Amino acid sequence: MYINGEWVDAASGRTFEVTNPATGEVIGTVPDGGSADAEAAVAAADAAFGSWASTTAYERSELLYKAWQLMTERSGELAQLMTTEQGKPLKASAAEVKYGADFLRWYAEEAKRIAGEWLPSARADQRFLVLKQPVGVVAAVTPWNYPMSMLTRKMGPALAAGCTMVLKAAEATPLCAKAIYQIFHDAGFPPGVVNLVTALDPKPIGEVFTTDERVRKLTFTGSTAVGKMLAGKAAGNLKRVSVELGGHAPFIVFPDADPVHAAKGAAALKFLNSGQACISPNRLYIHESGAEAFHETLVQRVGKVRAGNGMDDGVGVGPLVNDAAVAKVERQVEDAIAKGAGVPVGGTRLLEGEFGSGHFFAPTLVTDVTDDMVIYREETFGPVAPVITYDDVDTVIDKANDTNYGLAAYVYTQNISTAMRTFEGLRFGIIGINDVNPTSAAAPFGGMGDSGLGREGGHEGIAEYLEVKLGGFAI
């Protein structure tokens, strides 16, 4: 672990193994931390906060630029590590490393854009000054599905704002977190400013993060159930909270759209990271007028997606994170089949040959999906594309909104009025209009409802780590 500028073992001396999800091979060992380690990390962050918060924005910017430079220089080795530990194809890992580095560069600039303002007063002898200052020590919990970019998406704005941090890395991908922290160490961040705790059991760490009075903000990315629990505990101690949680994204193809073009976009997006993305489309709505062409294109596209070890050339879908994830996907597909769905491609676990030691599910297309199926209601987080055929354009937005989640949605149409009405009518935080990649370090990312609170990225991202202070001056 990384505490107060040093690499340290767990106080207990315990460790746990990290495995490759494609092969089952042990690839490393890391400290198995507990509450004592989390408390030590919080203490280090608290001790460093005063001096770090008083550094100039230009000093913080320079260090973030240095981290961006190092991450860019090491992009090849970082991508290889990510594929080995997390499983995604090497090309996808390289794309994530670049995406993650972009947050460091963006917030290196945003550090210098933190500004207050003068406000007018009704009194002639009074002036108001608004000042923005760092919230304090930030506790962060990050997921395994994007094991590098989810760190920098939180670390970039928090550090730019002048906060210090303690991060609990996902137990499935601690080596990726360690590599990112090595970059911050090599970039020259002062001791205590960034701290890393690794643990097989996250509960004791979460307890410290949500109850320790020195922690002033909690930021979490992960499941809705865990996010609600952490946010509830943190709120009970009046901590600032931002949580980015699950999704159940609709993908609406209107009658005027090219169904072939839309199907190609859906296939490219759905199988990204083996479907293990919170913005992955989980309900593909195609109008009956274009259903045949849409289905045919998806059958062809999905049938060509090759599953395997992400290090191998031509692999489009890697392993899932563990056997429980495979079992969840399998249950959803079996439920859909039992209720009348068709499965023209895939639909099974992959167990033979090279797949025997990993956690693989075949790239799958499910058709004739109805609203009584589990896959229609629950996030899949796997390589399965569920297609729903609809006939009434006037009700498809209501169908898409029929979920407690509100993270991402996608729309294909060539009609500007349809695009605008749908954009305004969908209750989701991120909407791609003829676009399957509506994300960037410069753009706000976050959802509504059970998909979370707050935003990451963009100008909005740094505001999550700032307190607003008002000064009233009598002159």
Contacts of 238 (CB under 8 A, 6+ apart): none
* Count of residues making up the chain: 475
CA dist., res. 251 & res. 263, Å (int): 10
Instruction: Considering the candidates 244, 379, 456, 464, report the single residue annotated as catalytic.
Output: 244
CA distances from 139 to 3, 42, 281, 389, 410 (A): 13, 8, 30, 44, 32
Q: Which of 199, 81, 70 is nearest to 142 (CA)?
A: 199
User: Chain centroid to CA 191: how far?
Assistant: 27
Is 278 part of the annotated catalytic residue set? yes
Is 354 part of the annotated catalytic residue set? no
CA dist., res. 27 & res. 20, Å (int): 6
Give the other-Cβ count within 10 Å of 422's Cβ.
Answer: 21
Instruction: Considering the candidates 96, 110, 278, 379, report the single residue annotated as catalytic.
Output: 278
User: Chain centroid to CA 163: how far?
Assistant: 21
Three-state SS string over 276-290 comes to CCCCCEEEEEEEHHH
Q: Burial of 374 by CB count in 10 Å (0-12 exposed, 13-18 middle, 19+ buried)?
A: middle
DSSP bridge partners of 252? 285, 411
Q: Which of 243, 215, 230 is nearest to 150 (CA)?
A: 243
Give catalytic residues, as residue numbers. Answer: 244, 278
